[in-house]
Structure formats: structure tokens, C-alpha cells
Homo-oligomer: A and B are copies of this chain.
Amino acid sequence: MKQDARHPRGHQAADKIARECLGLRTRFVHRVVGRIYDDALRPFGLGGAQLNLLVGIVLAAPVRPGELAEHLRMDKSTMSRNVRRMVERGWVEVGVDDDGRSQQLRPTRAGQRLLDQVLPAWEQAQSEAAAVLGKAITRDLHGLPVGLPSS
């Protein structure tokens, strides 16, 4: 159990984690890439997470919050609060479902229009993100599912 004299306790573990950890890397990428999209979208008053949700709601409407949360691998409580913010901003409507427990989410006209409006800014952010990430990882990320339907 003796530690290498040149490397105090924890250094070897730290070194291994720094070199290999996928959690570090996905977190890092999320910070860097997330900021690119947030900056691009800021003039429109929405961030990356809300764009994500709005896209999901437009493509899946009418959709239950819990169902969308499950597809997006997001906790239902996160969905609940994000939906509330988007309703306050007038981009999403909450309707009643036949099942008295459930809700139906739909984009408002303003929400649909917003998507068209942000498209140029999104394209710009997308270019920057692709440049930052590099070709290989951009290609591989494209292959990942994100829990949204595509027509």
C-alpha cells in the first residue's frame, strides 16, 4: 500500500481520472458548447435547454410532459419547471388530457414563430460548435439519439 514517493496520495488516481474520465469530458464539452448556443440565443430570450424543449414540443405535440421527459432522459421535475417558464413567456400552452392526471403540451403561435426566427442564430452557433468540437466528434455526436422524433 506504499505510495510512490514522487507522487503523494491521490495523485495516481487523479492522473488516471484526468486522462480517461468520460464524465469530465462530457461535462467540459457541455460547458463549452452550451455557452456557444446560449450566447447565440440570448437576444431571443431563450437558452439551449428551452430551445431543446421547444423543438421537442413542436415535433411531438400534443405530448404529455412526462412522456417528453422520459424521451429526453430528463427528470419530470425539471420538465415541470422548464415548462412553467416557457408558458410564462408565451411559447407553450398546457391543455387538459382525457386522463385527469395528465397534461398536453403544445407550442403557441409565438413559439412556432420563434423557432423560425432563431434559425439563423442557431446556424451560426452550430458552425462554431462544429469547429470547436472537430470533425470526428461532430460526426459521432450526430449518430447519437436525442430522444426526439424526426419527420
Contacts and interface: CB of A to CB of B under 8 A. Distances in A.
A25 interface: yes
Given A14-B59, A18-B150, A26-B29, 13 more contacts: A9-B109, A13-B122, A15-B150, A16-B119, A18-B59, A18-B148, A21-B52, A21-B122, A23-B51, A23-B129, A27-B34, A27-B52, A140-B140
Main secondary structure of the interface of A (DSSP, over half): helix
Interface of A: 7-11, 13-34, 36-37, 48-49, 51-52, 54-56, 58-59, 72-74, 107, 109, 111-116, 118-119, 122, 125-126, 129-130, 133-134, 136-138, 140-144, 146-151
Nearest to A25: B141
Contacts of A73: 28, 31-32
A49 B34 CA distance: 16
Contacts of A150: 15, 18-19
Given A14-B115, A22-B126, A151-B15, A137 B138 contact: no
Given A21-B122, A55-B17, A136 B130 contact: no
